[in-house]
């Protein structure tokens, strides 16, 4: 049986973003770190209309670790989309600013 997840500010934001992605028709899934994954792996990948978003989710006061900043830099260097989101509004703003069609 699964234990209930602790309701931290970051987990509340994760739930909000998951609901927003569902409501907007994204195929999305969380990523889990393991000894075999890259350090700084983002929290979620979302895909729609051939657009892939790498989403690092932070609580209101969360900061990127060095590994997360490195990973985001690697994604940006490949001309892909890496978003640090503290709410679904950050995703909406990013999509609008980049002119992404979803």
Residue 11 exposure: Cα atoms within 13 Å on the Cβ side: 5
* Predicted pLDDT of residue 22: 98
Alpha-carbon distance 8 to 96, whole Å? 29
Tokens of 20: 């927003």
Identify the structural domains of the chain with CATH numbers, from first to last.
9-98 (3.40.1350.10)
Q: Check: pTM over 0.95? Answer yes or no.
A: no
Q: What is the pLDDT of residues 45-78, one digit of tens each?
A: 999 999 999 999 999 899 999 999 999 999 999 9
Flag whether pLDDT at 1 surpasses 90: no
Residue 7 pLDDT class (50, 70, 90 cuts): confident
């Amino acid at each position: 049986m699964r234990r209930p997840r602790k309701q931290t500010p970051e987990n509340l934001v994760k739930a909000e973003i998951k609901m927003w992605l569902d409501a907007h028709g994204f195929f999305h899934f969380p990523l889990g770190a393991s000894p075999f994954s890259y350090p700084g792996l983002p929290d979620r990948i979302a895909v729609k209309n051939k657009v892939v978003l790498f989403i690092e989710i932070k609580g209101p006061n969360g900061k990127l670790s060095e590994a997360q900043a490195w990973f985001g830099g690697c994604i940006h260097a490949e001309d892909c989309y890496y978003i640090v989101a503290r709410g679904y509004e950050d995703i909406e703003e990013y999509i609008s600013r980049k002119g992404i069609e979803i």
